[in-house]
Structure 1
């Protein structure tokens, strides 16, 4: 979120307009670590491009953040012994972290290697922008092993043309070609390069950013939590975000042994506890944040979720902090 906001602001654009076009709450800027679905990331980047008129923005963003912006994927890369081992790890972790039908992995083609990226699900707009964004991260991954000045033989994107091609080629330091799948082409023997600064997986803190679950339930919960920044979401809104009909979403949740209302209740309960842990926030305000008309309605709901009232739960938290329990 941060780099996008900085780029838009620096260009004199409107962040409110960007987030509105992407149908996302502006309050997300206050939660930079919140995970969002890939399709929502694409909406946001595409809206930023349109706002400031910079088609090379995805390349700038990914080159700026580098491997540090890859979160759990970056941790997996830095723990691998060789470049080839790192790319094998990325192939497993990427679709889990991005919560979508994506593929990122290595394919050897004789003396050459192809480090590719594909989004298998339907994307109505922004596909090429997403590929350019991904290519910057792919470059950062390989450069962790081969150095900051390393250049691939060429980069590949889908389509037949692209805006700002020359500018993006200058940022990536290589020619951009068009093909059936986006990726980087480089000598296969580079895959044997050892990790020059391997992250010890046994050290404390190196596995904190665990990938989120790769299932529909996690996606639904994530979208509900996202929407709570502005209003409690309807099942129709969540279904649309996932590219499903309301009935299909209900059927798939039933197959997983749950209902939309159950997931929403769990998300609301977790968010209520987070807000109640803020001792200065009145209980009535917590209820309003979660969409309840008044403190009484919120108290009844919280009592049903936890068996205690909000004030009792907050008192318990405060006692534990003081070590009096």
Structure 2
């Protein structure tokens, strides 16, 4: 199976806000992209990169804004990248900030993309490549990335900074004038997306350096090349909206149902086993950390009623969900670091 790119759902909320401000319907946009609207509430979840791009395309059509991707990243800026943004903005110089971005992006925010800084003589080139197997929405992803990259450069070099060159790959940019206005830079085409600027700027100090933060937790590398782990992840996403199904999972992975079943079988697992394991994990999470009642947890997981959920949970844990929750809450919490 080709490697599929993953990205955090951080852009879901800003997309919905932009659509609503323009008089569109976020619910309609998410339905068109076949994504649960509740992703807005869970920005740290990974989703397929192609799903993010489909959502952006649906949103741009909904409100008639071809520059939406560039506008979103410029408005959110580096702070919108969460822990990654905080770490980057605590760097003392621009070259250190770019190095942190390049080194942490794939593990913390988005896989199947590659950022590189190349210094050649008096010029520096900051490049961005999409390595996802799908060609759908590649240029839109590049425009989203260029917005964040430009925002970082301007935080060090001033709001009036203009790169020597800003380029994207692929066909001519739709709505180029609007996109250039959003980015504050003229666009050209190249084999890869890039920004070029004087290499001497790499030594620029950070004028508004954030306090140095503890190194952010580096989660395991995204699971896009592990079929079983990726399938488990996508099943958990389906639970946000409906009961997961084999046809829906196969469609998300770009496989036929028969092929998916066969590939899972070679790993000694079935869809039903995956679904059971994911539902058990999600039930644990909701009961241990959430404030939902047992009835609400049952509803979240797609059970017809509490009785069905309680029977399933007893099979997983050997006790009813209420008893398990009491047991977990009674355990002493670990001391603060």
Which residue of structure 1 lines up, in the alignment, with residue 216 of structure 2?
A: 207
Alpha carbons of structure 1 residues 160 and 318: separation in structure 2 relative to 1, 3 Å? closer
Which residue of structure 2 lines up, in the alignment, with residue 193 of structure 1?
A: 204
Which residue of structure 2 lines up, in the alignment, with residue 307 of structure 1?
A: 318
Whole-angstrom CA distance in 1 between matches of 2:83 and 2:321 = 34
Q: 2:80 aligns with which of 69, 78, 83?
A: 69
Q: 2:141 aligns with which of 121, 130, 151?
A: 130
Shift of 1:318: 4.8
More displaced 10-residue stretch of structure 1: 313-322 or 153-162? 313-322
Shift of 1:244: 4.2
The alignment's TM-score, normalised by the length of structure 2, stands at 0.82
More displaced 10-residue stretch of structure 1: 178-187 or 32-41? 32-41
Secondary structure, aligned partner of 1:36: strand
Whole-angstrom CA distance in 1 between matches of 2:291 and 2:77 = 38
1:212-227 to 2 correspondence within 5 Å? 212-215=220-223, 216=226, 217-227=228-238
Task: Give the aligned CA root-mean-square deviation in angstroms.
Answer: 2.9
- 2:160 corresponds to 1:149: yes
Secondary structure, aligned partner of 2:89: helix
| Superposed CA offset, 1:45-78 (max 9, x none) | 1110011110011111111000011124323423
Which residue of structure 2 lines up, in the alignment, with residue 169 of structure 1?
A: 180
Task: State whether residues 220 and 238 of structure 1, in contact with CA within 8 Å, keep that contact through their aligned partners in structure 2.
Answer: yes
More displaced 10-residue stretch of structure 1: 245-254 or 218-227? 245-254
Task: State whether residues 72 and 211 of structure 1, in contact with CA within 8 Å, keep that contact through their aligned partners in structure 2.
Answer: no
- 2:277 corresponds to 1:269: no
Q: Number of residues paired by the alignment?
A: 318
Q: 2:67 aligns with which of 56, 64, 74?
A: 56
Structure 1 stretches of at least 4 aligned residues deviating more than 6 Å after TM superposition: 254-258
Q: 1:87 aligns with which of 69, 75, 98?
A: 98
Gap regions ≥5 residues in structure 2? 1-11
The alignment's TM-score, normalised by the length of structure 1, stands at 0.85
| Superposed CA offset, 1:291-318 (max 9, x none) | 2233333223212322322020122345
Shift of 1:258: 6.2
